[in-house]
Amino acid sequence: MIEVEVDLGDRSYPVLVGAGVRHELPALLPDDVRRVAVITQEGIGVDVDPGVAFEVFTLPDGEAAKNLGTIESLCSSLAVSGFTRRDLIVGVGGGVVTDIAGFCAAVYHRGIRFMTVPTTLLGQIDAAIGGKTGVNLPEGKNLVGAFWQPSAVFCDTATLESLPPREFQSGMGELAKYNFLGGAAPGEPPLDELPLDERVAASVRIKADVVASDEREGGRRAILNYGHTLGHALETSGSYDIRHGEGVAIGLAYAAEVAFELGRIDADRVAEHYRVLGAYDLEAALPANANPAELIDLFSRDKKALDGVTFVLDGPDGVETVVGIDRSVLEAAMERMERMAKS
Ligand code: GLY
């Protein structure tokens, strides 16, 4: 078992990583917790015993559950069952569940404690760490939410064994991202050569460090969106059969090409992006039916676009946010990607 701390002063919390760590939950439950509300989804099938009285609230499967109606009905169910601020919520599932459970914890009785057992690779290395909680509106994803930190996170890697192969592989896109956000500690092998548990722990450590330095995304935290600008556009355009992590992987290759066009990185560093994506068995090319002009149009609608087209890009000082990128640069980078795919 590996333990990583998210250092937020008196709101610091541990993230445990390893096979079977969800069984450590009773040991980390605060002594004064009377009862636990376990929030999960139908298809998750991961048992959690908090070691005190608990009630399970099961949401329907899928992203469609992530809305304000679900929050209202969950809060009503908690009220009917008599849960109070002395109790605690545990979210068991992927990012959809941990986002809903965390937001429910943030608003029920003006905020109660919560812990998460993320059961997907994406959840373990991203969604469940860092206190971003919330739900979608018909107008867009994650438009209503709160920063609400958990008291502990249990990244039980045994739960990954039952993931559908494509879901697991999609998580690899997010995992590959961390190779460029600090990667392995000096003297250690690159992240892509570590066993999965250690890779998850190393990614959690990088995310914990970024969150500790910028909890509310005033600046540095935005680097966690490396690869996400094109990734989101591919996901939201509706024209492609693409999962989040698959989009991030293609977005990492594209971000490297944009950085190259701007003279921020050299050809070797671009090649390193393609090497890492290959090591994770990730597709680095645009979908065959991609429409680059439509994708570039979508960038300007990305919620992180602060001033013209904004990208998180690699460069001499590492990965950082770059604003005001010309359309001609974005088009040239698309052409480079298309040439690369043909070569
Ligand atoms: N998923 C990006 C963040 O947590 O800030």
Q: Where are the domains of the chain?
A: 2-163, 171-187+218-342
DSSP state of 123: I
Kindly state if the Cβ of 223 falls inside 6 Å of ligand 1: no
102 DSSP β-pair partners? none
With 0-12 CB in 10 A as exposed, 13-18 as middle and 19+ as buried, what is 214?
A: middle
Which atom of ligand 1 is nearest the CA belonging to 222?
5
Question: Which residues does 129 contact at the CB level (< 8 Å), separation at least 6?
Answer: 6, 15, 153, 204, 207, 208, 211
* pLDDT-derived band at 187, boundaries 50, 70, 90: confident
Kindly state if the Cβ of 336 falls inside 6 Å of ligand 1: no
CA–CA separation, 47 and 280 (whole Å): 30
Out of 8, 149, 217, 303, mutate this one to test ligand 1's pocket (max ligand atoms within 8 Å of CB): namely 217
Q: Where are the alpha helices (DSSP H) in the chain?
A: 25-28, 68-80, 95-107, 121-122, 165-177, 196-213, 228-236, 244-261, 267-279, 292-299, 327-342
Cα 125 to Cα 9, 286, 335, distances in angstroms = 21, 25, 32
Q: How far is the CA of 339 from the centre of ligand 1 (A)?
A: 32
pLDDT at 6 over 90: yes
Q: Give me the percent of the chain exceeding a pLDDT of 70.
A: 97
Q: Quote the distance between the C-alpha of residue 99 and its chain's center.
A: 10
What is the CATH code for 2-163? 3.40.50.1970
CA–CA separation, 37 and 21 (whole Å): 19
Q: Which amino acid is at 339?
A: R
Residue of minimum CA distance from atom 3 in ligand 1: 224
Kindly state if the Cβ of 87 falls inside 6 Å of ligand 1: no
Confidence (pLDDT) at 238: 83
Kindly state if the Cβ of 177 falls inside 6 Å of ligand 1: no
Kindly state if the Cβ of 205 falls inside 6 Å of ligand 1: no
Q: How far is the CA of 81 from the centre of ligand 1 (A)?
A: 33
Taking the CB of residue 210, how many other CB atoms lie within 10 A of it?
20
Structure tokens at 181: 């956000």
Confidence (pLDDT) at 134: 98
Q: How far is the CA of 127 from the centre of ligand 1 (A)?
A: 7
CA–CA separation, 320 and 318 (whole Å): 6
CA–CA separation, 299 and 233 (whole Å): 6
Which atom of ligand 1 is nearest the CA belonging to 224?
2
Which atom of ligand 1 is nearest the CA belonging to 225?
2
Confidence (pLDDT) at 190: 85
* Three-state secondary structure of 40-66: EECCCCCCCCCCCEEEEEEECCCHHHC
Give the residue numbers annotated as catalytic, written as ranges: 110, 132, 174, 207, 217, 221, 225, 228, 232, 244
Instruction: Decide if domain 171-187+218-342 falls under CATH 3.40.50.720.
Output: no
Average pLDDT for 169-182? 94
37 DSSP β-pair partners? 55, 89
Assess contact for 214 and 131: CB atoms under 8 A.
Answer: no
Confidence (pLDDT) at 140: 84
Out of 116, 153, 207, mutate this one to test ligand 1's pocket (max ligand atoms within 8 Å of CB): namely 207
pLDDT at 13 over 70: yes
Average pLDDT for 42-70? 96
Out of 120, 125, 224, 232, mutate this one to test ligand 1's pocket (max ligand atoms within 8 Å of CB): namely 224
With 0-12 CB in 10 A as exposed, 13-18 as middle and 19+ as buried, what is 275?
A: middle
Q: How far is the CA of 222 from the centre of ligand 1 (A)?
A: 7
The DSSP-derived string for 312-324 is: EE--TTSSEEE--
What's the pLDDT tens digit per position in 194-212? 999 999 999 999 999 999 9
Q: What is the mean pLDDT of the chain?
A: 94
How many alpha carbons lie under 13 Å from residue 132 in its C-beta half-sphere? 22
Which has the minimum average pLDDT: 54-58, 137-141, 196-200, 248-252? 137-141
Confidence (pLDDT) at 302: 54
Which atom of ligand 1 is nearest the CA belonging to 210?
5
CA–CA separation, 150 and 124 (whole Å): 13
Q: How far is the CA of 224 from the centre of ligand 1 (A)?
A: 6
* Owner of token pair 């392995």: 184
Query: Which H or E run contains 193?
Result: none
Confidence (pLDDT) at 301: 66
Q: How far is the CA of 3 from the centre of ligand 1 (A)?
A: 20
What's the pLDDT tens digit per position in 274-331? 999 999 999 999 999 899 999 998 887 654 444 568 899 999 999 999 999 988 999 9
Structure tokens at 118: 């993320």
Confidence (pLDDT) at 184: 76
Structure tokens at 109: 């009785």
Confidence (pLDDT) at 86: 94
State residue 272 phi and psi, 5-degree precision.
-60, -35
Is residue 144 helix, strand or coil? strand
pTM of the entire structure? 0.93
Among 103-107, 141-145, 165-169, 194-198, top mean pLDDT goes to 103-107
pLDDT at 237 over 90: no
CA–CA separation, 292 and 300 (whole Å): 13
